[in-house]
Structure 1
């Protein structure tokens, strides 16, 4: 009888430990406050994150009234460092990678014709074609990169004159987001 009680307590203890571990793991896996974005990118920390209707409205406004633009979701994030580096992300999510590639092509064909940005310069980073443009007015930010990855199109404004720094942020973004 005594042996059976000890075994019963041991089994109850093991069940409690397993249940507690599962609960803790489940809570840690829930969606974070930063959505698709990491809390830290390079030396910058996430300062703002938006998704849902607010992000959709802002991203759609950036695309204008183009009939080509059909996006399913949108995300916006701002990053800041202690050394005054800043980055802002606008991300649109399409139904599939083909729609994202179409959107990217449309953006690239219009970007240099707006009088707002320079003509784009393509480059390859980790097998992704990334386009670089400069803002022609300082209030727009000077350095911008855009690309498609899977079913998402990314536009990143990075306020830092160091090209190696900016490319490092873009490369890390491609790997982590």
Structure 2
């Protein structure tokens, strides 16, 4: 009788551990309500998130619906800070990193020719080549774009402090 009781307790313990592990695993796998975007970025909080057809339509419109632009999915996020800082992300996802790199180069080669943005300059942040352009006031003045894996990011950051903006880009590269 004593052996059966200890075997029963051991079986219950193993079942409890397995159930707890499965529960923890499924909670960790649940999708973030904001997709890939963190709720906080620097001193800003996420204020808007779009994905699916709505984001795809807007991102494709920004690319001019060019047949050379192949986008599998798109994401948009707005961040707002208490001191008036704002950041807007437009993210396109390609089939693979090669297509994303090609899209980035296409964007870089045409962005300065639109009359809406300056010619780009580039720097390396967190090991990634990041392009910077300034825009007309009605478009927002400070824009950064780069490719990471199979995604291309365009970030508009409304803050005149260059160090602040680069820190937001750095944090974005690390977190998103």
TM more than 0.5: yes
**Most deviating of 1-10 and 91-100:** 1-10
| Counterpart Cα distance in 1 of 2:108 and 2:61 | 17
Instruction: Give the TM-score normalised by structure 1.
Output: 0.92
* Residue aligning to 1:100: 100
> Which segments of structure 1 move beyond 6 Å, counting only runs of 4 or more?
none
Kindly provide the CA deviation profile for residues 18-46 of structure 1, in whole angstroms up to 9, marking residues without a partner as x. Answer: 30332133123211111111221111111
Q: CA RMSD in A?
A: 1.5
1:154 and 2:162 equivalent? Answer: no
Other-structure match for 1:37: 37
Q: CA deviation at 1:48?
A: 1.5
Q: Which residue of 2 is the match for residue 142 of structure 1?
A: 141
- Give the aligned partner of residue 172 of structure 1: 171
Aligned residues: 176
Q: Which runs of 5+ in 1 are unaligned?
A: none
Q: In terms of mean alpha carbon deviation, does 55-64 or 122-131 score higher? A: 122-131
- With the length of structure 2 as denominator, give the TM-score of the two structures: 0.93
Measure how far apart 1:92 and its partner are.
0.5
Give the unaligned 5+ runs of structure 2. Answer: none
**Structure 1 Cα separation of the partners of residues 129 and 20 of structure 2:** 46
User: Equivalent residue for 1:86?
Assistant: 86
Partner residue, 1:47 = 47
Structure 1 residue 10: Cα displacement: 4.2
Q: How far 1:13 moved relative to its partner?
A: 3.7
